[in-house]
Structure 1
Amino acid sequence: MIRSILLSAAAGLVLSACASPALRGTGDLGVVVERGTGSIQVIESQKHTALARLTGLGDLSHASVVFSPDQRYAYVFGRDGGLSKIDLLTQRIDHRVIQGGNSIGGAISQDGRLIAVSNYVPGGVKVFDAGTLRQVADIPATALADGKRSRVVGLVDAPGQRFVFSLFDTGEIWSADFSQGNSPVIHRFKDIGQQPYDALITADGRYYMAGLFGEDGMAQLDLWHPERGVERILSDYGRGQEKLPVYKMPHLEGWAVADNQAFVPAVGRHQVLVMDSRSWQQTATIAVAGQPVFVTSRPDGRQLWVNFAYPDNDRVQVIDTETHRVIADLRPGPAVLHMEFTARGDQLWLSARDGDQVQVWDPYTLKRLATLSASAPSGIFFSSRAQKMGY
């Protein structure tokens, strides 16, 4: 009798184990934004496959994504003010709130506890509990003459439980320190230059740099020494002498640092600019096929992959960072919007919006490995971003 009970219990455990979903990690997972349908695809890089499509995420025309420290949750920032928390393992929407009227990105705090969203409307930054998406802080931007508030751009996370961001309309950089709780200490830096449109933070979290659309140059804040204020660097960076139409503003995220060199896209020029990453002085220019949008570095720093604004947005050029030579001129398809390397650099994923494709490339052989169908794809984000500052 006892033996039959034990056998029955053992059989039940086996059946239960067979019915349970297979365990897996999240290190090879990511998301593809489908801007045309307000949806995302959950993807895995190892097998080049799409695991699920999640819909109902609103306006994703300029969406960006950050990840929780355990790489399980993706936070999607929609242009319509939507903030969505996605569970990559269960492949469902965990929480979703509408927190503003027009948003332009966000960041997750150093400890993963807070999610910050930068808003055009209403101008400012709102901060949320990462677990519940309950609002815990509101940081209104500087008021304008018409009663509206400045648009906020270039929001990044920084060491010491800080968020740093720029005010487009009033030419400011603000640092919000949340190290003592949910009532931040704000440090404001004024007159940093005209129309900061995007920003980056160096991989070590020391330098915050805002690109300026209204004038040549960049604004740099040394977060080790904020008492020194904001300095102007790269005086030739910007629209330049040849006033070309700017069809799409370049993005500073993903810029490359290799062999004490930094590479950034030029605004309104067919150039990638090179500067010394110690002195922040320009040292060279690299001629490219069009106006660069992203200058994305392979993780080992040896290659740059560059995509372009219209009418050259069907091209991607690959640059050797040691020689500054263009070593490949690829034609992946119409409207290449975004590129993302896997964490160890064995794959490069890119979105071809007007071809409804996501492509996977081997960056060493420059051969295409796979193609996935997607509806007007734009941003591609892997969960390995969770371990990077400013991503």
Structure 2
Amino acid sequence: MIKLLPLLALLFSFNAIAELRATGDLGIVIEREDGNALIINTTEHKRLAKIEKLGDLSHASVVFSRDQRYAYVFGRDGGLTKIDMLKDAIDKRIIQAGNSIGGAISQDGKLIAVSNYTPGGIKVFSSDTLELVADIPSDYGEGLRSKVVGLVDAPGQRFVFSLFDAGEIWMADFKNPKAPAIKKFPNIGKQPYDALMSPDGHYYIAGLFGEPGLALLDLWNLDAGVKHILSDYGKDDEKLPVYKMPHLEGWAVAGDYVFAPAIGQHKVLVIDKNTWELHDTISVAGQPVFVMARPDARQVWVNFAFPDNNQVQIIDVKDLSISKTLSPGKAVLHMEFTPRGEQVWVAVRDDNQLVVYDTETLQEITRLPANKPNGIFFSSRAHKIGL
């Protein structure tokens, strides 16, 4: 029996080594109807685990710790869940508000901020323990509190977010977490509904639902305040019903251009990043929801609101034209590129599938089962600004 102990120890050691897992090619897929999250491997196209009982994930988003081990899931019901992607388990879960719309992780990875509709404002937590660090209510006017949208991280240990009801942009500086400094930019336009941070952290752009145009904040020149851009675009056009609000964190910045969805129209706007004027418009198959650039910026992929949400179109950035229309299945909700862009994963909700495409050949590679998949989030996001 004694002689067997070294052999058993060796076998145990071998099994432990065989179960080791790297984090760079992991990802999270949200199964919205069941309130579950799948842990997937993007290189091997595998489902590794299912994490259950995460609450209302109808508008879920995810950020990652800088070591890519932990995923933080923001649920619509105010739930904040920290998932250990190496142990395939929930590390900690709290209910921090009544109605939440997303979140961000700080530049140093130590703080998690959550934007809330109810009660209105942002709450900031320790990424390690999920203990509350700061509560910033979005108060304005007399006894009023705004829904908060468009929360992103920014360089300098800051968070930037928009107040939907107040028509304001706020910046919270967390260099001193115990006493965050708040800078407010009022009168930025009616009903900012979402926002984009440029990949270099230079510009914060809020889309406006209540009036034409966009609100642009230059983080390198805060004293200049907020600039209105594209104020004249579409103001005289027929107002069409909006079936699904575009998601501005899915906007594409490619080279000298910003590619943005036109609200309620079958167009993608091409904005010159040097002048912030409209350069061109591209007619597409439906109302755009996500407009996302391949990491090398050569392609922009677009999906659409109902009733055209069975399609995906690819824009060739070189000549600003549609190069291909794909039909992945019923209700394409989200897309995510692998870190260097050789593949893209597509969530097809009503077919209960994840579809993987080769972005060079535009050929389908494989399909994986998922129950009503919604958002797809890869761990490479850990090292990107504004996601």
Q: TM-score, normalised by structure 1?
A: 0.96
- 1:136 paired with 2:133, answer yes
Q: Distance in 2 between matches of 1:17 and 1:283?
A: 61
Match of 1:116 among 113, 116, 126: 113
- 1:171 paired with 2:167, answer yes
CA contact (8 A) 1:332 1:352 kept: yes
- 2:328 maps to 332
Describe the SS at the equivalent of 2:250.
coil
- 1:18 paired with 2:14, answer yes
Work out the number of aligned pairs and report it: 386
- 1:221 paired with 2:214, answer no
Q: Distance in 2 between matches of 1:278 and 1:43?
A: 39
- 1:315 paired with 2:321, answer no
Amino acid at match of 2:66: P
- 1:77 paired with 2:74, answer yes
User: For each residue in 1:283-328, what CA deviation from the matched residue of structure 2 results, as whole angstroms up to 9, or x when unmatched?
Assistant: 1000001100000111111111100001101110111011111111
Match of 1:263 among 259, 262, 281: 259
Distance 1:237 1:180, change over 3 A: farther
Q: Distance in 2 between matches of 1:288 and 1:384?
A: 29
Shift of 1:181: 2.7
CA contact (8 A) 2:133 2:177 kept: no
- 1:183 paired with 2:179, answer yes
Describe the SS at the equivalent of 1:18.
helix
CA contact (8 A) 1:240 1:268 kept: no
User: For each residue in 1:128-159, what CA deviation from the matched residue of structure 2 results, as whole angstroms up to 9, or x when unmatched?
Assistant: 000000011000002466x4510000000000
Shift of 1:240: 6.0
Q: Distance in 2 between matches of 1:277 and 1:299?
A: 18
- 1:104 maps to 101
- 1:232 paired with 2:225, answer no
Shift of 1:11: 3.2
Amino acid at match of 1:347: Q
Shift of 1:242: 1.9
Match of 1:289 among 285, 297, 302: 285
Match of 1:192 among 176, 188, 194: 188
Match of 1:302 among 285, 298, 301: 298
Describe the SS at the equivalent of 1:279.
coil
Q: Distance in 1 between matches of 2:34 and 2:333?
A: 16
Q: Distance in 1 between matches of 2:34 and 2:188?
A: 38
Describe the SS at the equivalent of 2:350.
helix
Q: Distance in 2 between matches of 1:130 and 1:83?
A: 11
- 1:248 maps to 244
Q: Distance in 1 between matches of 2:215 and 2:93?
A: 35
Match of 2:48 among 32, 48, 51: 51
Structure 2, unaligned runs of 5 or more: none
Q: Distance in 1 between matches of 2:68 and 2:241?
A: 40
- 1:207 maps to 203
Distance 1:237 1:25, change over 3 A: farther
CA contact (8 A) 2:27 2:377 kept: yes
Describe the SS at the equivalent of 1:296.
strand
Q: Distance in 2 between matches of 1:121 and 1:63?
A: 16
CA contact (8 A) 1:266 1:273 kept: yes
Describe the SS at the equivalent of 1:16.
helix
Describe the SS at the equivalent of 2:380.
helix
Larger mean CA deviation between 250-259 and 366-375 belongs to 250-259
Distance 1:239 1:329, change over 3 A: farther
Amino acid at match of 1:153: V
Structure 1, unaligned runs of 5 or more: none
- 1:351 paired with 2:347, answer yes
